[in-house]
Amino acid sequence: MSEFVLEHQVTGPLHTNCYLLYDKQSKEAALFDVGGEIEHLVSIIEKENLKVKYLFFTHLHFDHFNGINIIKKKYPEALIAYNKNELFVLENQGFFARIFAVDSSVIEKLDVEVEDNQILKLGNLEIKTILSPGHTPGSICYHFNNCLLTGDVLFRSGIGRTDLYGGSYEVLMNSIYNLIKLPDKTKVYPGHSDFTDIGTEKKENPFINSEDILM
């Protein structure tokens, strides 16, 4: 099993969790959901002499990519990766994106098209993608070892909102019931707020019906 490190920083106007993942042996790294300034994570990258290979996005709401222009300039060889269905979300950011003067010029240049059930590697660390629509049409969760980055699909005692462009409550719940098939010990790292695990959410999340789990 690969030795890896997962760090995070809360950033941006909506307090987005940005994650830094790297393989300790190869020093290859990825950033997930750069929603604002991430000085702490950049300091780790420099201290550990990491090579940023990917800039991953769980989805393309502005609060998950609003810091990408600065980071892309800093690490120009890093590959921007997301599901192509998110381009429609990018084009329909709405009122709040205009308030915060979002610049999506860099994010539109897709380098790696992320689809369902792909394996992407950082050194010896394998990252599996799980297409999880509902919050947005192309929301992607990233699963590695016993960790799951869920973006705005699944939260501690909550789920993603579905009243924004491309959202669907029924589709979202189907995605969530797919995610909770993972082992109970799987640690959940959401796009906002506190960490949790699959077992806890199966027991305590008010949106998850225990009877449906047993069916």
Q: What is the pLDDT of residues 71-81, one digit of tens each?
A: 999 999 999 99
Q: What is the pLDDT of residues 51-100, one digit of tens each?
A: 999 999 999 999 999 999 999 999 999 999 999 999 988 888 766 666 66
Residue 121's alpha-carbon distances to 30, 90, 135, in angstroms, are 10, 26, 26
- Burial zone of 113 (CB within 10 Å; 0-12 exposed, 13-18 middle, 19+ buried): exposed
* pTM, two decimal places: 0.94
* pLDDT-derived band at 213, boundaries 50, 70, 90: low
Q: What is the pLDDT of residues 17-36, one digit of tens each?
A: 999 999 999 999 999 999 99
Domains of the chain from N-terminus onward: 4-214 (3.60.15.10)
